Each structure stands twice: as C-alpha cells, then as structure tokens.
Amino acid sequence: MERVVNRPAARPKVRAITITPFAEGWRVGGLVDGESPRTAATMEEVAAMLPEASTVSLSLPVAAVSLERMSLPSTARDELDGMVMLQLEKTLPYAVDELSVGFDVIRQEGNESHLLAVAVSHEQLDTLCQPLRERRHLPEQLGVFAMQLAARFPAEEVLGLIFQEGETTILAIGQGGKLVAAYPCQTTSREGFLIELPRLLLAAELEGTPVNFSKLIVDRELGSWVDPLREELGDIWIERAALDAPLPPCAVNLTPPGWTEEKRQFAQTAKIKEWLIIAGAIYLCLLLIAAGYIIWLQHEVNAVNAQVSQAAPYVDSIATRKARWQALAPAIDPTRYVVEILNQVSHSVPSDDLHVTLLVQDNPDGFEVDGEAPSAVMANTYVDALKNDPNLKMFHFHSDLPVILPNEHAQFRIYATL
C-alpha cells in the first residue's frame, strides 16, 4: 500500500521588482528571471503587473525631484544633514516635514563638502504611487534614475548622459560615478533638443558644472541623434548604450518615513488574512458569522452611500460658491489688487540696476513678472526676495532659467501662482 505524505505548499518566491522611467512611460524589470523589462504607459498598468509577493524599487524621473548643488563647510555626515535641511527650507515651497530629502557627496576638499541634494514632496510621491499603494506594493527603495545612470559609469571623469523621460529629454552630467546636475528640456524631438543644447550647456557653466565631457552616453533608442550631436559638440567621444540594463543602487533613498509603518501594516494585514483563512477552514461556524457580518457592513455602506448621494447637491453648491468667491478675490481683496502687487514687486527689487519690464495678471490665480538684471545671480536674488516678501506669501514663485543677452545681462521671467 502506497503511503501518501502531505507536504506544506511552497511559499511564493519574493521577487525584487525595479521600476524605471523612459520615454513612453515605465520599464518594469524582474517580473520573470532572465526576461527583458516590460513596459507600461501608466503607473496603474505597472501596479497591475506586480506579483503579490514582491519588493519594489522605484527610480524617479528628474522632473519629479528637486536637485540642488551645495558646498558646505563640514565633512561630518550628521552635520551635513542639518545644513542641507536648512538650505532646502530656504529655497523650496514646502515645510521640511513634507519632504523626503537625501544627498550624495560628490567630493570633499579639506573641511568643505561638495554635494548634490535631492528632495521630493510627500504629496507628489503619494499621487505618483497611489496605484502601488492600492495594491500594497509601496516601494522599499525610492531613488533617482539619473543618479543610478551616473553611477553605472564610474570610470568617466566628466560624463554626459542624454536620455528621455516621458515628454522630456534630459542632459545629465556626472563625475566619477556621481551625478553633478541634470537639466530637463521640454521636448523629445532631435531638432528641438539641438536648439536648446547650447542654452543648457551655458546654464551648466554658469552654475560651475563641468561640461568638458570625457564621454557622452546617448540612449540606444536615440541612435539617430549621435551624428548631429557630434557636429554640434565637436571632437567628443559619443557612445550609444542600452539604459534598460540593471542599474546599481541609488546613493539616496527618498522613501518617506511613514511608508515603513504603512508597509508593516500591509504585512500584518496579510498575515491576519492568512490566519483567518486557516481558521475559517477549521471553524465553519465562524466563517458563516463573518459572512453575515460582511453583509451587515455592506448594508451600512449602502446606507452611507445613500446619505452621500443626498448631500451631493449641497456640496456642489458650496463648491460653486467657493469658486465664485475665488474668481472675485482679485477685485475685493486689497492684497491682490494689481496696483498692490506691482508695489510689492517693485519694493522687492534688490538693486536699481535690475529693471522690471512687464507685469501680467491675466487670471485670478497668479501673475507673471518679466525683467532684466545685470547678472543671473541678481535675477535669482530677486526671485528669493519675492519668495520671502510677507505681503506675497499667498503666492508660490518659480522661474525659468535666465536668458543671457548679448550685453551679458540676464533676462528673466518669474511666475506666481496661488
């Protein structure tokens, strides 16, 4: 008589999934051993691909983060942490506790550290990763794709990288495997990027970023760009490379602290569910009681939904009135009169050499300031002055890179939004 031995079912293999940006959406690697990464247009499609037992590493595009080079008078890691936070608090429109911040030390000279600080808002991360949260796949590691690409080529003294993320073409610059700067160009066409390339290189030089590339790496998908780039940049070594290959870990991890607890709760919930299934198989009566409880909960949900439906017209009415008041705010709020805004804009001018040439307020949600400064530094000083003006604190300010004129003055444009 043959003896039958019941063995416990094997636990599912935990897969390490990598999600990286590219021109048409996202690449998802690690789903099947030895298989090339699959592609998805949206994060919803990415979430649908992920197996239940998996750990996720997400590489963020340049457009999703704020990159800032800093030179700080310290080499101690704990001291640099505090200094970076203080610097970012001055320049970013978020409170420090609303940001995930990291930095990578590019080089250290004596008692001074040159580093690249990276910051991303929790609000933006929550929006981007909501499909992953809904499927309980919040990333264990949140890095920056450009930093990982730079780390892939550590032997290059000054490395240029050209690749695409969504509707943006990125010029990234690295040194010794460290990302130094990344400049997004809002185009995916070869001709458009070649037109913008001199401006990007000039902006890099103004910031002190080296542009004497020992090698320029171009995404293999942009093979037709190599010859025009060589004509534009002259005698430079240009190489095509597949950027979907496995990447080294990122030097920073931007995972919000709250996500760790949330993932722990996910794991705890899954374990509870497993025990409930086992207990349900043994105690049928408890399963029946649970089914009855679920039916009661569904009844309660239906009752709540009915109340929500009844309240919907009132909520819509409130929203309509709110929108009407917001539209009328520039006419009834003295702090938003055009004359008052012009007064504050003029009051913040740091020098008589800086001239405001145009103030446009064509919608109730903000305004635009154009002008000319003797230098890009003074233009940036003016932007900081507007950000710190207590009379303009209801506005969020951002600006384009200054355009350098033939007379070496900097032409700037500043946007203010509510």
CATH number at residue 376: 3.30.1360.100
φ/ψ of 24, rounded to 5, equals -105, 15
Is 165:22 a contact under the CB 8 Å cutoff? yes
Radius of gyration of the chain from Cα atoms? 27
* Coil vs helix vs strand at 93: coil
Q: What is the pLDDT of residue 4?
A: 44
| Angstrom distance (rounded) from CA 33 to CA 401 | 44
> Residue 229: its pLDDT value, please?
93
Dist. CA 38–CA 329, nearest whole Å: 49
The confidence score (pLDDT) of residue 328 equals: 64
- Mark whether 359 and 400 lie in a shared domain: yes
Tell me how far the alpha carbon of residue 7 is from its chain's centroid: 47
Inside any domain, residue 341? yes
Give the 3-state secondary structure of residue 58: strand
| 390/344 Cα distance (integer angstroms) | 10
Pair (346, 411) in one structural domain: yes
Q: Are 117 and 99 in contact (CB under 8 A)?
A: no
Cα–Cα distance between 115 and 59 in angstroms, integer?
20
Residues 340 and 412 in one domain: yes
Q: How many CB atoms lie within 10 A of CB 409?
A: 20
Three-state DSSP class for 407? coil
Do residues 216 and 238 make contact, with C-beta atoms less than 8 angstroms apart? yes
**Domain contains 11:** no
pLDDT in tens, the chain (418 residues): 344 444 444 444 568 899 999 888 999 998 887 788 899 999 999 999 998 878 899 999 999 999 999 999 988 888 898 899 888 888 888 888 889 999 999 988 888 999 999 999 999 999 999 999 998 899 999 999 999 999 998 877 899 999 999 899 999 999 989 999 999 999 999 999 999 999 999 999 998 899 999 999 999 999 899 999 999 888 889 999 988 888 899 999 999 988 888 878 876 776 777 777 777 778 888 989 998 899 998 888 888 888 888 888 888 878 787 767 666 666 666 667 788 888 889 988 998 899 999 998 877 778 999 999 999 999 999 999 999 988 888 889 999 899 999 999 999 999 998 8
Asked whether residue 92 is assigned to any structural domain, the reply reads: no
The 3-state DSSP class for residue 415 equals strand
Q: Which of 301, 327, 353 is the last residue of a domain?
A: 327
pLDDT per position as a tens digit, 247-300: 899 999 999 988 888 878 876 776 777 777 777 778 888 989 998 899 998 888
Is 79 a member of any domain?
Answer: no
pLDDT score at 326: 65
408 and 371 in a common domain:
yes
Helix (H, G, I), strand (E, B) or coil at 175: strand
Check whether residue 287 and residue 347 sit in a common domain: no
- Distance, in Å, from the CA atom of 346 to the CA atom of 10, rounded to the nearest integer, reads 71
Axis crossing angle, helix 190-206 with helix 226-233, rounded to the nearest 10: 40
Residues 341 and 413 in one domain: yes
Count the domains in the chain: 2
Nearby residues of 72 by Cβ (< 8 Å), 6 or more positions away? 80, 83, 84, 87, 112, 113, 115
Q: Do 321 and 342 sit in the same domain of this protein?
A: no
Chosen domain end from 294, 327, 360: 327
Residue 347 resides in a domain? yes
Position of tokens 């929203």?
Answer: 319
What is the span of the domain harbouring residue 352? Answer: 336-417
With respect to residue 112, please indicate whether it lies within any of the assigned structural domains.
Answer: no
pTM above 0.75, yes or no: no
Same domain, 315 and 355: no
Same domain for 369 and 309?
A: no
Outline where DSSP puts E strands in 48-158.
54-60, 66-72, 99-109, 112-121, 141-144
Residue 316 bridge partners (DSSP): none
Look at residues 158, 141, 62, 162 and name the one whose alpha carbon lies nearest to residue 106: 158
- For residue 389, is it within any domain? yes
Q: Are 367 and 404 contained in the same domain? A: yes
Statement to judge: residues 345 and 402 lie in one domain: yes
363 lies in some domain: yes
Where a domain ends, among 269, 297, 327? 327
* Cα 26 from Cα 24, distance rounded (Å): 7
382 with 403, same domain? yes
> What is the per-residue pLDDT for 379?
92
